[in-house]
Structures are given as structure tokens and as C-alpha cells.
Chain A
Amino acid sequence: MTDEPLLRVSELSKFYGSRVGCEAISFDLWPGEVLAVVGESGSGKTTLLNCLSTRLLPSSGTASYRMRDGQWRELYRMSEAERRFLMRTDWGFVHQNPADGLRMTVSAGANVGERLMAVGDRHYGRIRATAVDWLSRVEIDEDRIDDEPRAFSGGMRQRLQIARNLVTGPRLVFMDEPTGGLDVSVQARLLDLLRGLVTDLGLAAIVVTHDLAVARLLSQRMMVMKDGRVVESGLTDRVLDDPRAPYTQLLVSSILQV
């Protein structure tokens, strides 16, 4: 653990005309820390995620990122080329729908290898060996390496998407409902895998989810959003076990007990 955060977000707001996407969001994220952003749909959590990952430009506010060389850079002042380079090397983005994050018409191996080739690896044997290694880490059989993700189940696609993102050893991964749309048993396996990878690799992650169980399992810290604002934040277990804000209490009390 270092004493410096990885990401500093200050007074970040995004308006769609007069409508609020997210408003006055501030937080720091440290290396190896998993932050869950929860709230119902329309609460602004995805807008926030898209702003942070520079897929969307905020209306106001700043976000600074500590680059691998230790330099602090303001995300919204970087050139598009720099941002895109960051996104395919030091960052990852796991979409809810794997088809949004994968190339469905190229093989699993090429999906994993693409980032390596994008940063200049020109050795086929090495790229393939790395792909094999990563497929096994996300529990995909090596003999599926030349299959297209179209032939994969939803859970496998999601695991492939994760491998594709992690192959360049990113330090920060954004996840948008990573287990959404999966069967419960598949979800459990994926969560377990994610949790292991995050711990082993010391990843920092920002996970957007409406599922409080996912937040509890993956994150140390969480922010609860409503109408574009953060209504409560803190340690994940503190927020879930002793919710203070009216909305958080409503959310927590709405969990179905099995």
C-alpha cells in the first residue's frame, strides 16, 4: 500500500441539458481498493462511471490519475490519444454485456492478445502463450482458444472479457454491473473469480452495481447514489449493516431474504 491515492475525483458533475446526470462527486481511490457504486437505475452511477473512464466528458469538476511513472495527470486535459492509450494499458473496462467489450468475430485468443499487439508485441508465440495463461486464469479451457466468443456461454464470455482487460496488467478496472444478466450460480463463480484476481493482482476497481450482495462481496468501500448525488459513503460493511441515510435504509431493507 502506498500513501498516495491512484485517482482523485473532485466535484465532478455531468448535466444533460438541465437534467442532472451526476453532481458534485468527490472521492479518492487508493491502489488495491475496490469501490462499489450502488443505486437504482437512473441514479447516475453509470454516468459517473463513464465520466471517470473518460468515455464521457463531465460538465465540471476534475479527476486526476497517478500514472505509472508517478506523475499526476488530469484526465480531462489529456489528449484523446493519451486517454485511449491509458484505457488499453493501465485501465480495464468490463461491460455488463460482454458483446460490448469483446470482438465477437475473432477468436478468444485474439481477444486476449489484442491489447498486447496494440502495445507493440509482435511475437506470435509469446502472445499466444500469454493468452493461454490468461484463459486458464479465468477458467476457460485451453482448447477453446481458437473459438469465437459467439460460441461461448454468457458466463464464459464475461470471463473472457475480464481476461482481455487484465492481460496488460492494468492498475484500475471499471466494471459496469459485471454480473448482471447471469444465472445465480454463474454469478457466484464469476464473483469468486473476480475477488481472487483483484486480491492477487492488487487491482483498484470501481464497480457499479445495483446488487448489494455483489458490493458486499467485492468491495471494501461503497458510495450510495440517488438522483445523481452521493447520499452515503463509507466502509461497505458499515454502510450495509448500519445504514444512516433514509435512501440507504430503504435499499438495504429491500433486499430479498432467501
Chain B
Amino acid sequence: MATPLVVSDVAKSFTMHLRDGVTLPVVAGVSFSIRAGECAVLGGPSGAGKSSILKMLYGNYAVDEGQIIVQHAGGLIDVASANPRAVLAIRRQTIGYVSQFLRTVPRVPALDVVAEPLVERGADREAARDKARELLSQLNLPEKLWALPPATFSGGEQQRVNIARGFITEHPILLLDEPTASLDAKNRDVVVELIAGKKAAGVALLGIFHDQDVRDAVADRIIDVTAFAAGRVAA
């Protein structure tokens, strides 16, 4: 099976035009690959650029240099240089993303927030809702909340809705940005289970986990981001 995700020589800096155009280097020379069924974890202190790397892989941040090659729609495509339409297609079919925060539309009930990614991919709405129910109950979200819009939920509840939304699809690549940050131990274990399930299904996972226990439980390998510190390559 071909490697689903190969990152080579990626560099990123921010130019702050509002502060006299000062340039903040973030990372440089980022190179790694993730195999199918593997969960790699980005390691390093905060500010090292872990989140920026995830966001570049997802097309959310622009890439200054390098390539991010993914297996997509039967071919290879470079996320770093793909046009917006291609990036959208990659997000729809190939790369899933679980962020720290839930961004939702005001009036949509939690159940539909979770089911939406499947519906967008053409699944039947009721089938998608069934799967959403399954995930939400697995994540111990009280059933009485399912029909409510998540905007007023607690941080942990929103996080679980977010995780369910991220895990409901069958993307071959899944990016996890601290999905367990505001969860209690019981629900952290559920997430660990979910990740194990994805691994077994051959999904390539790349995540950021600050929680040592979770990291130890899911990581096949740690990618040390300090190795990509921008200063080391010539800023």
C-alpha cells in the first residue's frame, strides 16, 4: 500500500505587515511521512509549530516552500500548491481534521452537526444520523443534548461533539489537534479506543496530544518538531 501522506522540506513563516513587515519564521525543512494504519504524534514544546504543521497539511495555512503529497482520488496531489477547489475535494474525500474548538452554525442540533460531514459526502441523512447517535452515545454525551444546538454546551461537551464529527467519516488521513484537551479520563479512554479503531481500519493519523497518557496509548511514533525549528535552517 502506498504511503498516504508524504511531507518534504516544508517551510512556513508569517510576515506581519501590521508590524512593519517583520517576518516570524515558524518551521523549515519539515519532512516526514505517515503510513496507513499508523498514528504519529507531533512532539515538542508549545510554540514549536505543531499546530501550524497540521494546519498546512489541511490547507488551512499557506505553505511557503516544500510539498505535501497525499494519495487522493487514485493519484497523488500536492496540498501545498493545490487550488482551492482541489483542497476542498481533498478535505471532502481524503483528509479529516478534528480541531480543538467547535465552530458551528447557531441553530443546527448537535446530532446534525455530527452527521453533516457524512451527508456532505452524499450519505443518506437518516443513515448518517444513526451513525452520529452511535458515536455520541459512545462518547457519553447525554441523549437529551442531541437535539440542541451545541453553542451553549460546556467545553467538554462541545469537544465530544467535535470528536464525533471528526471521526464519523472514513477519511484515509485524519489530523487530530488536541482532541482530548478538555475531556475527563473516561472520555479520553473512549477517544483512545476510537483512534485504535481508525488504526485498525488502515487510517493514517497525525496528532497533537498534550496529555502524556493519551500520547503513550496512541502514538506509534513521535515526530520531534524542534528538529524543524526555522532558525536551524537559516532564517
Asked if A and B are interacting partners, one says: yes
Interface positions of A (Cβ within 8 A of B): 1, 30, 33, 188-189, 191-192, 195, 199, 217, 220-221, 234-235, 237-238, 241-242, 244-246, 249-250, 253
Other than the given A238-B61, A246-B17, 5 more pairs (CB < 8 A) read: A189-B106, A189-B107, A192-B107, A199-B120, A235-B59
A201 to chain B, nearest CB (A): 14
B55 to chain A, nearest CB (A): 7
Within 8 Å CB of B14, what residues of A?
A: 242
B132 at the binding interface (Cβ < 8 Å): no
Within 8 Å CB of B120, what residues of A?
A: 199
Within 8 Å CB of A249, what residues of B?
A: 16-18
Q: Given contacts A241-B61, A249-B17, A249-B18, is CB(A192)–CB(B108) below 8 Å?
A: yes
| Residues of B78-94 whose CB lies within 8 A of A | 84-85, 87-89
Q: Contact partner of A246 among B18, B87, B106, B107, CB < 8 A?
A: B18
Q: Given contacts A189-B106, A192-B106, is CB(A241)–CB(B84) below 8 Å?
A: no
B105 at the binding interface (Cβ < 8 Å): yes
A218 to chain B, nearest CB (A): 10
- A238 pairs with B60, CB closer than 8 A: yes
- B62 pairs with A238, CB closer than 8 A: yes
B15 at the binding interface (Cβ < 8 Å): yes
B12 to chain A, nearest CB (A): 9
Q: Given contacts A192-B108, A235-B84, is CB(A253)–CB(B15) below 8 Å?
A: no
Within 8 Å CB of B15, what residues of A?
A: 244
Q: Given contacts A191-B105, A246-B18, A250-B18, is CB(A238)–CB(B85) below 8 Å?
A: no
Q: Contact partner of A242 among B18, B60, B87, B89, CB < 8 A?
A: B60
19 cross-chain CB contacts under 8 A: A1-B89, A188-B106, A189-B107, A192-B105, A192-B106, A192-B107, A199-B120, A217-B105, A220-B88, A234-B84, A235-B60, A235-B88, A238-B61, A238-B62, A241-B55, A241-B60, A241-B61, A249-B16, A250-B18
- A242 pairs with B106, CB closer than 8 A: no
A33 to chain B, nearest CB (A): 8
| Residues of B51-98 whose CB lies within 8 A of A | 55, 59-62, 84-85, 87-89
Q: Which B residue sits closest to A35, measured CB to CB?
A: B84
Question: A192 CA to B105 CA in the complex, in Å?
Answer: 6
Q: Which B residue sits closest to A185, measured CB to CB?
A: B106
Question: A30 CA to B15 CA in the complex, in Å?
Answer: 31
Within 8 Å CB of B18, what residues of A?
A: 246, 249-250, 253
Question: A258 CA to B108 CA in the complex, in Å?
Answer: 21
Interface positions of B (Cβ within 8 A of A): 14-18, 55, 59-62, 84-85, 87-89, 105-108, 120
Within 8 Å CB of B108, what residues of A?
A: 192
Q: Given contacts A192-B105, A192-B106, A249-B17, is CB(A237)–CB(B85) below 8 Å?
A: no
Q: Which B residue sits closest to A241, measured CB to CB?
A: B60
8 A-B pairs with the lowest CB-CB distances in the bound complex, closest first: A246-B17, A188-B106, A242-B61, A235-B84, A192-B107, A192-B105, A221-B84, A249-B17
B98 to chain A, nearest CB (A): 15
A78 to chain B, nearest CB (A): 27
- A238 pairs with B59, CB closer than 8 A: yes
B146 to chain A, nearest CB (A): 18
Question: A66 CA to B95 CA in the complex, in Å?
Answer: 31
Residue of A30, A195, A237 most packed against chain B (CB within 10 A): A237
Within 8 Å CB of B59, what residues of A?
A: 235, 238
A182 to chain B, nearest CB (A): 13
Q: Which A residue sits closest to B61, measured CB to CB?
A: A242
Question: A235 CA to B88 CA in the complex, in Å?
Answer: 8
Within 8 Å CB of A30, what residues of B?
A: 85
Q: Which B residue sits closest to A242, measured CB to CB?
A: B61
B7 to chain A, nearest CB (A): 17
Within 8 Å CB of A192, what residues of B?
A: 105-108
Within 8 Å CB of A33, what residues of B?
A: 85
B53 to chain A, nearest CB (A): 13
Within 8 Å CB of B61, what residues of A?
A: 238, 241-242
- A237 pairs with B105, CB closer than 8 A: no
Question: A253 CA to B14 CA in the complex, in Å?
Answer: 14
- A220 pairs with B106, CB closer than 8 A: no
Question: A234 CA to B88 CA in the complex, in Å?
Answer: 11
Question: A220 CA to B107 CA in the complex, in Å?
Answer: 20
A30 to chain B, nearest CB (A): 6
- B87 pairs with A195, CB closer than 8 A: no
